[in-house]
Amino acid sequence: MAAPAAAQGEPQLSITLNEAIRQVVEKNLDVKAELYNPAAAEADLQKNRGIYDTHLTLDTSYQDSTSVPTSPAAANKLKVFKLSPGAYRLFPTGGTVTADFNNTYTDTNSSFANYRSYWQSDLTFTLSQPLLKNFGREATELNISIATYSKEGTFEQFKTVLTNTVAQARTAYYALFSARESLDAKKTSLELARKILEDTKGRVKAGVLPAMEILNAEYGVALREKELIDAERAVKDQEDALRLLMQLKGNTEIVPVEAPPTEKFQASETDEITSALINRNDLRQAQVNLRSAEMQAKVARHQTLPDLSLNTSVAVTGLGENYGRNMERVGSTDYPVWFVGLQLDYPLGNSTAENDYIRKKIAAEQSRTQLQSLEESIAKDVRSALRGIETSYKQLDVTSRQRSYAEEVLQAFQKKQQVGLATTKDVLDELNNLVAAKNDQINARVNYANAITQLWQVTGQLLDKQGVRLTGTEAEDVYRKSRENN
């Protein structure tokens, strides 16, 4: 295949379809940008998992007060120092366990106090456990589940964008191939038009044809030159389209080396629809959205229950004039304190929770309906794509015969012209028909390739057919790299 005249002397890149698609997958900026969405969803998931992080607390204070005494023996000076480290953690049941180690040092001038200065400490464990509303893993991990589904959905959306981009790459690759073939055809037509012009000039000079026939021949040459210029521009435009998808820098001339397929494509409508219902990324995304909506509706229904909580605590305490004696009493467990209680909160009418549940249930029903609609649409898309393949394949034979007939007719008119039975205009008209027939044949091959691409795209098989494999950890890799660069 000849290179465009404007590209002569430029470096060439001869590339197969798979090589072009590999570069698109690795370098395309739209694909890279879309991958940030599941990576951000991974960050959101990890953030929500942080509800199970253990929290450390520290409370410390110092008080020094002098007041007007109410009696000669009453204390009017008080110093209090407090130091209370602690920790708390949420559990999947929805309960929160807290551990506090409270230490208080008191110094007073009271005459009635057994100890004017003393330490008082307690080690307290507290459990607050919802029994109805907010009970259980599903309620506790609601945001974790939503974030998990969101990550799955955004990754399916990423695969949809990747599939569409690969489809664009296939289309652009074959479009460039056809543009270069069309350019070759235009060059051949121009050479033939110039030959007709030279022959016409010779016959006019010999007195066989009138002089006006030269004008017809020159017009034919000018027309072919214009078509050649347009074809060269079309090649450059298609090169730029593929270069953008591949993120190829510079003005390297891209030369596709794989012709569009022409062999008959075998497919079963039932098998292709089944494949689409299994592999379509947008369908998987809709299924994820439905699972998320159903889970949220289930939790919202549970949240309509009364807010009943069990609160319990147990502590060991101590007191002493010095910290050591104080801690001995804490360790002896001779002075325990325990508490258990129930707390109920239920709004009359419960409108907020009830209507939140209704809203979530409606959202789930909407997602279910959208999924059913998409499934029916997928079947239609597959049947349409199969018809496109069948029609395009028939066009291959029709345009091939059309070109053969056009070549035979042109040869016949050239022979007629030689014996004076056809004018130069007649020959040029048939040359136009041949050029159109060649274009139709080139377009038919590209349309057939695009029809196959369309079928693979609507059945979700395109990435697999082109050898594009995803590990499923691409988003985690982006998240991990971003975290390491903090």
The predicted model gives 380-404 an average pLDDT of 94
Q: Which tops the pLDDT comparison, 66 or 389?
A: 389
At 12, the pLDDT band (50, 70, 90 cuts) reads confident
Torsion 349-354-356-358 (CA) sign: negative
Kindly state the tokens that stand for 307: 């807010």
133-168 pLDDT, tens per residue? 999 999 999 999 999 999 999 999 999 999 999 999
At 75, the pLDDT band (50, 70, 90 cuts) reads low
284 & 204 share domain: yes
What pLDDT is recorded for position 181? Answer: 93
For residue 310, report the phi and psi dihedrals to the nearest 5 degrees: -95, 125
What pLDDT is recorded for position 109? Answer: 75
What pLDDT is recorded for position 113? Answer: 60
Q: How many domains does the chain have?
A: 2
Question: Does 7 have pLDDT greater than 60?
Answer: no
Which of 26-35, 41-50, 204-213 comes out lowest in average pLDDT?
204-213
Check: CB of residue 246 under 8 Å from CB of residue 260. no
410-428 pLDDT, tens per residue? 889 888 877 778 777 888 8
Q: Calculate the average pLDDT of the chain.
A: 91
What pLDDT is recorded for position 343? Answer: 96
At 447, the pLDDT band (50, 70, 90 cuts) reads very high
244-264 pLDDT, tens per residue? 999 998 888 999 999 999 999
62 & 182 share domain: no
Q: Is residue 14 part of a domain?
A: yes
Q: Is residue 100 part of a domain?
A: yes
Question: Does 111 have pLDDT greater than 70?
Answer: no
Q: How far apart are CA 46 and CA 475, in angstroms?
A: 13
Q: Is residue 158 part of a domain?
A: yes
Check: CB of residue 196 under 8 Å from CB of residue 220. yes
At 205, the pLDDT band (50, 70, 90 cuts) reads confident
Q: Is residue 298 part of a domain?
A: no
Q: Is residue 159 part of a domain?
A: yes
115 & 149 share domain: no
Largest CA distance in the chain: 148
161-199 pLDDT, tens per residue? 999 999 999 999 999 999 999 999 999 889 988 988 888
The predicted model gives 110-132 an average pLDDT of 87
344 & 469 share domain: no
For residue 294, give the nearest of 371, 365, 369, 374 by alpha carbon. 365
Question: Residues 6 or more apart from 33 whose CB is under 8 A from it?
Answer: none
Q: Is residue 301 part of a domain?
A: no
What pLDDT is recorded for position 213? Answer: 83
Could you identify the residue written with the tokens 């044809």? Answer: 209
- DSSP symbols for 71-130: STTS--EEEEEEEEEEEEEE-TTS-EEEEEEEEEEEEE--SS-S-SEEEEEEEEEEEEEE
At 6, the pLDDT band (50, 70, 90 cuts) reads very low
What pLDDT is recorded for position 422? Answer: 79
What residues does 79 pair with on adjacent strands? 64, 107
Q: How far apart are CA 41 and CA 479, in angstroms?
A: 9
212 & 84 share domain: no
425 & 455 share domain: yes
Q: Is residue 104 part of a domain?
A: yes
310 & 362 share domain: no
Could you identify the residue written with the tokens 């005249």? Answer: 5
Q: Is residue 300 part of a domain?
A: no
What pLDDT is recorded for position 426? Answer: 84
Question: Does 388 have pLDDT greater than 70?
Answer: yes
Domain CATH number, residue 159: 1.20.1600.10
Question: Hey, is 248 helix, strand or coil?
Answer: coil
284 & 418 share domain: yes
270-318 pLDDT, tens per residue? 999 999 999 999 999 999 999 999 999 999 999 999 999 999 999 999 9
What pLDDT is recorded for position 4? Answer: 44
What pLDDT is recorded for position 8? Answer: 52
Q: In which domain, by residue range, is 67 found?
A: 54-135+306-351
211 & 240 share domain: yes
User: Above pLDDT 70, what percent of the chain?
Assistant: 95
Ranges 71-85, 320-334, 338-352, most confident: 338-352
274 & 342 share domain: no
164 & 278 share domain: yes
59 & 176 share domain: no
Q: How far apart are CA 129 and CA 132, in angstroms?
A: 9
Q: Which tops the pLDDT comparison, 78 or 28?
A: 28
Q: Which tops the pLDDT comparison, 37 or 333?
A: 37
What pLDDT is recorded for position 418? Answer: 78
Q: How far apart are CA 462 and CA 447, in angstroms?
A: 17
Q: How far apart are CA 287 and CA 366, in angstroms?
A: 12
